[in-house]
A and B are shown apart, each in its own frame.
Chain A
């Protein structure tokens, strides 16, 4: 197995608070890696470091073996690091379909010059993006919501739209920040199925999640973090069985 994403001694501190303490993490192709740990452990910060929202104090990040440390947030997304957000960050004044159409990795319709001079290429790209968006929505059973305003949808469906938007990016890495928080019922099943399908199609998936049964069902491997450090890396069963970690996390 080749590591699609690798971090090397990633360090980040805000004043006295260490959010990332020499983190070495690898995610392989087709793998679903669970990131667990108590609140404030540095899980979301790690996502922010990998996706480029935050710059590390030291350390490096490699995508398919190449360092991407110099790349800005938007460039990393174009390189294929797609992520979701804990609070979704949907475009609130737009419809479901419009939300998805913002997300393909490259989009000629968003350059004024191309709109003016390569009109046909823009139209083709627009059609392809619409097809992809509708296919993605159909996978989640949400195609009938395409023209609804995102804010009018129930919470669980909004979470799915957040995932669908991210899936418009066809890159190799998928980072999911608490995909299940507040999600239940049919949306839960759908979320689980789609994440699994994405991994089976070859993406390297990493997810932060507090829902242990979700992690246990999906993840082959998990990493336990606390105070910015990776304390343990192993199978989910091993992590849950560890008394020290259980105490730290669940407080029992």
Chain B
């Protein structure tokens, strides 16, 4: 049970990550790979505050989100000023640079990571408690993003993605809008990071590498980019499938490669057969 609940917490956190990433890349059309680094900024901020300050845990998680948001505005405001394409390169550089910094600083724990983050909640109720909290946050994220993209604001985002020049010439400030979308998406990732740090009580820089970018991107693409529930489906599938395979009781020598093969086949199959993703299929058959 404990094991399944842990996977539940992980799924909730990845639903938050993939949904917020989808807001940025799917709805906003902003090419960035750096989503894990904002996850990391949230995790490290909350973790360090938990160790060194006496602020309550929810406050630290929220500050993690704020820190990620501020960092994202700094990145987007400088990169988008040049051009939209520049963001991809800038985000990659930002992620790699910041990870190097984390690995080489003392107070972040260096390459070994940040250990002994206080657990706040202890005892048997710990995992169920985190399951409920992260689950609620995941629902709030999905519902919140849905509300944003369905209203007048979402209409403006669509128009901006369709025809940015016409959008701007109608009196809309596309650059600020992109920065706002980026900041919201990255801020949410920061909050997810805070929850992650409190639950696992240990974070290391390896967890936020480019491989993680690929994992979150796969969730979004597989589920359906630019759809509300696509990233949710993608996150659940990509986390559940490897767990399901472990239940087959295969010898370890076969299991590890099997997981990799199934993953790769799945991604390739979707790219060729259903490029709009699982949820995207129903709506985007043009």
Which A residues fall within an 8 A CB radius of B? 51-53, 73-75, 77-78, 82-83, 85, 89-94, 98-99, 101-103, 105-107, 109-112, 115, 122, 126, 165-166, 168-169
Contacts and interface: CB of A to CB of B under 8 A. Distances in A.
Interface stretch (B79-87, B118-126, B127-135, B168-176): B168-176
B156 A102 contact: yes
Given A74-B170, A112-B153, 4 more contacts: A92-B162, A98-B159, A110-B152, A168-B170
Contacts of B151: 109, 115
Contacts of B174: 74
A91 B159 CA distance: 6
Nearest to A51: B169
A106 B184 CA distance: 23
B158 A165 contact: no
A91 B173 contact: no
B268 interface: no
Contact of A89 (B148, B165, B184): B165
B153 A102 contact: no
A73 B152 contact: no
Contacts of B162: 91-94
B143 interface: no
Contact of A98 (B153, B155, B168, B180): B155
A26 B207 CA distance: 62
A74 B177 CA distance: 12
Contacts, number: 86
Contact of A93 (B148, B152, B158): B158
A102 B167 contact: yes
B163 interface: yes
A53 B166 CA distance: 10
Q: Which 5 A-B pairs have the closest CB atoms?
A: A109-B152, A77-B171, A89-B166, A91-B162, A78-B171
Contacts of B180: 112
Contacts of A109: 151-153, 156
A112 B169 contact: no
Contacts of B168: 73-74, 77
B156 to A, nearest CB: 4
B44 to A, nearest CB: 27
Contacts of B148: 112
Contact of B170 (A52, A98, A102, A126): A102
Contact of B153 (A82, A99, A105, A115): A115
Given A107-B152, A112-B148, A91 B158 contact: yes
Interface string B21-50: 000000000000000000000000000000
Nearest to B157: A110
B166 A90 contact: yes
